[in-house]
Structure 1
Amino acid sequence: MSTGRSSTSETGVRSESAGTSGKAGEIRTYKGQDRALRAGRLGTTGLLLSVLAASAPLMVVAGVMPTTYGVMGIVGQPLLFVILGVVLMLFSVGYAEMSRHVHNAGAFYAYIARGLGPTAGAGASVVALVAYSAMQVGIYGILGFEVSGIFATYFDITVAWWIPALVAVVLVGALGWLKIDLNAKVLGVLIVVECALVVIFDVAAIAEPGKEGLSLQAFNPDTLTGAGLGTALCFCIAAFVGFEQAPVYAEETSRPQIVVRRVMFLAVGYAALFLAFSAWALSVAVGPGEIVKVAGEQGPGLLFGLTESRLGSTFTDVLHILFVTGMFAALLSFHNVVARYAFAMGREGLLPAAFGRTNKTSGAPAGGSLLQSAVSVAVVLAFALTDDKPAGDPTAPVLHLFTWMGNVGALGVILLMATASLAVIAFFVRRGAGRTQAGRLVASGLSGLALLVIAFYTVKDFDVLVGAGPGSALSWILPAIIGAAAVVGLLYGAILRSTKPEVHARIGLGNEAFQLEKAAESERIQV
């Protein structure tokens, strides 16, 4: 099993790809424009809004924050977001530098392949596909539940949760076929309005604080003690998911070596400040001494109750609608990412070649988009068919589909980030740049260790995360999905190395192999 690919061997492989001998291991990938994503479609603003949409800020403020306060009893949640922001900023230092050297829609798995070898990259590709698919499909559950609740509340119509969920699958799939710059505009409008309304609430909460006034107790390190800290780490880091998706769009940006790294730092910085400020505003509105009790009693209704008392019922009604549109934006963002991972895998031979083609009209990865839509339909229907609860019961759509899939996906992304930190170190050391990149490599090492600790707590407390009782089989079955994906991917990579060395050598090269092929052909023509 391959553990690395040195700069010397990598150069040798690429030199061979320029030849015409047809030897085993030769990389020949250029097959026309339909195997490449369209460049220059996204700038800094479009890319930033696309990746921020995945974090669904309003869903975090209304769902994650009350849960962390009420169930886990962590009053210092705002400080926790600041600490996690620092960890992810350290991660971004090396990850962003890597993005200057590798432009591939496969992002995580491409970076891991270039640092730790093609076999490790194959393992990461399957984990990424499963993790992001799980996170996306899970959101269909809570979106369907919320839409059915809106119909029941405002129109007195009973609608099963899975009906709006399937409608959302169709709409997301249709948008996934369109140009990425159009997708970015849709995401941009939704995310800007969503964040603006949350900030309005934050300001209103600070202007009209609870009985304890403008207390900074939530930023006291003593508030991070307690048995729920590990679980809170898992919950809160999932709120940042999205920033790491920026390199997925590298091939479609105008200046990837600049735009991608800029967007990652902006996304992490914005998310950390936005989440910490909003979590503090919630604690101020209720009072640090009462926030755990009140959040435990009201749950996701906490935010909407506080907005109604301060900003009125009309504002709260609009917030309910934006809660749904924010989830739709997250669905579209995750769909775009999964489609591009599938495209990159199809282009490099990890998936059938059909997935490595783009839509001739829009340039979108058509095969990957269809794959994600099909998976979404299958999973939503599976949970719908096993739902024996009355309409309006959140068990199947929220407590099962959303919670189970969301935490499985979050675990996968955390492990991918930890592995990518190691890959960054290996990549620059193998290129002989260890000394010049020393600061970035230290940052990657520190973030990798921190992410491994968070992954440990995620697995350890998985029964709490998914609401399963002690000793429940779900506490190991669900995390095992990510473990199985990694094993399958590694075995697949090892098999490719033995049976199809030319495909194995191609893993992680992406569009770069295209350019090598085209350059070699041009040289032969000139000669």
Structure 2
Amino acid sequence: MSSQPLRGSLTTPRIVFLVVAAAAPLAAMVGTVPLAFAIGNGAGVPATFVLAGLALLCFSVGYAAMSRKIVNTGGFYTYLARGLGKPPAVAGGLVAVIAYNALTVGLVGAFGYFVQLIASDYGVNLPWYLFAGIGLALLAFFGYRQIDLSARVLSVVMLAEIGILTVLAIAIVAQRGAAAFPLTTFDPKTFLAPGLGVALMFALISYVGFESAALYGEESRNPTRSVPRATYASISVITVFYALISWVAVGAIGVAGVTETATSQQGELFFTLSGDFLGQAATVMMQILLCTSLFGSTLALHNGANRYMYVLGRERVLPQWLSGVHHSRGVPHRASMAQVAITALIVAIFALAGLHPYTNLATSMLGLGTLGVVALQCAAAVSVLGFFRNRPDRHWWRTGLAPVLGLIGLGTAGVLLVQNFAIVTGTTSPIVNLLPWLLVIAAVAGVAYAWWMRANDPQRYHGLAETPARQQERETPLCPLWPEPALINGNQRYANHASSYDRSREGAQPGRRSHA
């Protein structure tokens, strides 16, 4: 099927807003940092954010190098196809669909819970699922509009939440002076204290969504420049901001008391700091911005989820109906509607079962989604090595050492997530803690389906993860570690098709060296 292309209207700043909003800085500070203080390495958390940022920057070097060569809404799906082969790509695509949908569902649950909690403080007592329903209605509205509208809304949300935390940091520094930046935080004895692994796990959870810049390649005006720049800018902004705000929080509380204080206050920690240093009015504003932060993150991840569904629908890995693009707005409106319907169904099931929106719905879905994204990041790091393996433009740092270092950091985080999944979800329920197996089942099913397609529909198999605009990188061979189907089963029809394609390429581009 020849699907209508997405509209290319995004600039680099707008992609940055979409990406940073997905990471939800205020929600990360309020919800994740106190946990890292309490059960991680305490005052060493700011240094842990720096370590996590460096690991993700290493990953981003190779990720950005691929994004300069590949323009496709498929994100991880396309990168895995070009670096590892099409069966791993189909597996990764299905894992991405589950992960991004799970993250969206979890954030809708968190949004409903926190809005209900804050509304009840002001005498508005309504069930959480009504507020979740309002959030879903807003998702449906923005998902049916041009991506520019989402980018503009998310830019306002992101600037507001960063603004309130910056004002809090300035107030703490004004009162504490140099004591707001305790050097003990970066002392190896503090940083390497027991709990570093758990703190690193929570730190990396706070970055989920930064990798989504590549999903907007087909919708950007200059994708080969915008996507790499947005990736670097996003990870740099997130790292500096997280490290700085958590460092100032340690200075406000005191190095000696940060673990005990965070353990007792947990999600109230930053609201308490706001009340102490800014006053009650600022605290109310922070509570409101927490809700908008959660919605902004939900909207950004909803956009990521529906673009994976759109691409896999376009490839007929998922129902082809999902590949519909709105005739005037140029957005994947059908995939957006499907994502909203999936979220509504899961939220309704949890609500009817009387389960808690945060401790049951949000934590389990966010844990599942985070694990899926980290697994995809590890696979993408390996795919960078495969993609540039035999290319003349490979580079010892950008396409070699940097992805390896990123893989080590992300692989460590993945192991920690699996080992501490019960801590992430906050429950010992065997049903919840078996959720990671859904990712394994999806990956196995994806490989099996790709094998079936290769044997029974080689022409469709050959078209998987191809650049719609048929740009140069459409011609890049897959990793030789995963041979082409003609070399595996001797399918003559496919061999003739591939052979004629190669001849036409050589005729169209005389004198160009083939990398095959």
Partner of residue 267, structure 1: 234
CA distance in 1 between partners of 2:185 and 2:441 (Å): 39
Equivalenced residue count is 478
1:259 to 1:367, Cα distance in 2 relative to 1, 3 A: same
Matched to 1:281, the amino acid is V
Partner of residue 443, structure 2: 486
**Structure 2 counterpart SS, 1:178:** coil
CA distance in 1 between partners of 2:464 and 2:42 (Å): 43
Indicate conservation of the 8 Å contact 1:212/1:288, yes or no: no
Indicate conservation of the 8 Å contact 2:181/2:247, yes or no: no
Aligned positions of 1:423-502 closer than 5 A: 423-434=383-394, 436=395, 439-469=398-428, 473-474=430-431, 476-502=433-459
Indicate conservation of the 8 Å contact 1:127/1:485, yes or no: yes
**Structure 2 counterpart SS, 1:174:** helix
Q: Tell me which of 407, 411, 419 is aligned to 2:367.
A: 407
1:36 shift after superposition: 1.0
Partner of residue 324, structure 1: 291
CA distance in 2 between partners of 1:333 and 1:475 (Å): 25
1:403 to 1:476, Cα distance in 2 relative to 1, 3 A: closer
**Structure 2 counterpart SS, 1:300:** helix
CA distance in 1 between partners of 2:63 and 2:44 (Å): 28
Indicate conservation of the 8 Å contact 2:180/2:247, yes or no: no
CA distance in 1 between partners of 2:397 and 2:182 (Å): 41
Task: Note the alpha carbon deviations across 1:16-63, whole angstroms, 9 max, x for none.
Answer: xxxxxxxxxxxxx5x3xx521112x11111111011100110001111
**Structure 2 counterpart SS, 1:158:** coil
CA distance in 2 between partners of 1:284 and 1:183 (Å): 36
Partner of residue 171, structure 2: 204
Using the size of structure 1 for normalisation, the TM-score is 0.87
1:308 shift after superposition: 1.0
Q: Alpha carbon RMSD of aligned pairs, Å?
A: 2.2
CA distance in 2 between partners of 1:398 and 1:210 (Å): 37
Partner of residue 271, structure 2: 304
Indicate conservation of the 8 Å contact 2:364/2:432, yes or no: no
1:43 to 1:212, Cα distance in 2 relative to 1, 3 A: closer
Task: Note the alpha carbon deviations across 1:372-407, whole angstroms, 9 max, x for none.
Answer: 10110011111111116xxxxxxx111111111111
CA distance in 1 between partners of 2:382 and 2:314 (Å): 25
The answer to whether the aligner puts 1:188 opposite 2:159 as a matched pair is: no
CA distance in 1 between partners of 2:210 and 2:295 (Å): 18
Partner of residue 506, structure 1: 463
Q: Tell me which of 94, 118, 137 is aligned to 2:62.
A: 94
1:230 shift after superposition: 2.2
1:474 to 1:202, Cα distance in 2 relative to 1, 3 A: farther
Aligned positions of 1:60-71 closer than 5 A: 60-71=28-39
1:465 shift after superposition: 1.6
Q: Tell me which of 159, 172, 175 is aligned to 2:139.
A: 172
**Structure 2 counterpart SS, 1:351:** coil
1:75 shift after superposition: 2.1
1:476 shift after superposition: 4.3
Give the stretch that moved more between structures: 216-225 or 487-496: 216-225
Indicate conservation of the 8 Å contact 2:172/2:180, yes or no: no
1:440 shift after superposition: 2.7
CA distance in 2 between partners of 1:261 and 1:37 (Å): 20
Matched to 2:51, the amino acid is I
Partner of residue 152, structure 1: 120
Partner of residue 365, structure 1: 332
Matched to 1:420, the amino acid is A
CA distance in 2 between partners of 1:410 and 1:461 (Å): 13
The answer to whether the aligner puts 1:37 opposite 2:2 as a matched pair is: no
1:510 shift after superposition: 3.6
CA distance in 2 between partners of 1:224 and 1:509 (Å): 45
1:488 to 1:226, Cα distance in 2 relative to 1, 3 A: farther
Aligned positions of 1:24-173 closer than 5 A: 29=1, 31=2, 34-39=3-8, 41-154=9-122, 156-173=123-140
Partner of residue 492, structure 2: none
1:352 shift after superposition: 1.9
CA distance in 1 between partners of 2:397 and 2:167 (Å): 43
CA distance in 2 between partners of 1:280 and 1:475 (Å): 33
1:208 shift after superposition: 2.1
1:404 to 1:227, Cα distance in 2 relative to 1, 3 A: farther
Matched to 2:450, the amino acid is G
CA distance in 1 between partners of 2:322 and 2:188 (Å): 49
**Structure 2 counterpart SS, 1:35:** coil
Matched to 1:111, the amino acid is Y
Matched to 1:488, the amino acid is A
Matched to 2:116, the amino acid is S
Task: Note the alpha carbon deviations across 1:410-459, whole angstroms, 9 max, x for none.
Answer: 1111110111011011011143444x455432111121122111111110
Matched to 2:263, the amino acid is G
CA distance in 1 between partners of 2:362 and 2:381 (Å): 28
Indicate conservation of the 8 Å contact 2:172/2:248, yes or no: yes
Q: Percent identity?
A: 32
1:210 shift after superposition: 9.8
CA distance in 2 between partners of 1:114 and 1:506 (Å): 12
Indicate conservation of the 8 Å contact 1:148/1:160, yes or no: yes
Using the size of structure 2 for normalisation, the TM-score is 0.89
Give the stretch that moved more between structures: 508-517 or 343-352: 508-517
1:298 to 1:427, Cα distance in 2 relative to 1, 3 A: same
CA distance in 1 between partners of 2:286 and 2:258 (Å): 21
1:482 shift after superposition: 1.6
1:130 shift after superposition: 0.5
Indicate conservation of the 8 Å contact 1:462/1:475, yes or no: no
Indicate conservation of the 8 Å contact 1:144/1:164, yes or no: yes
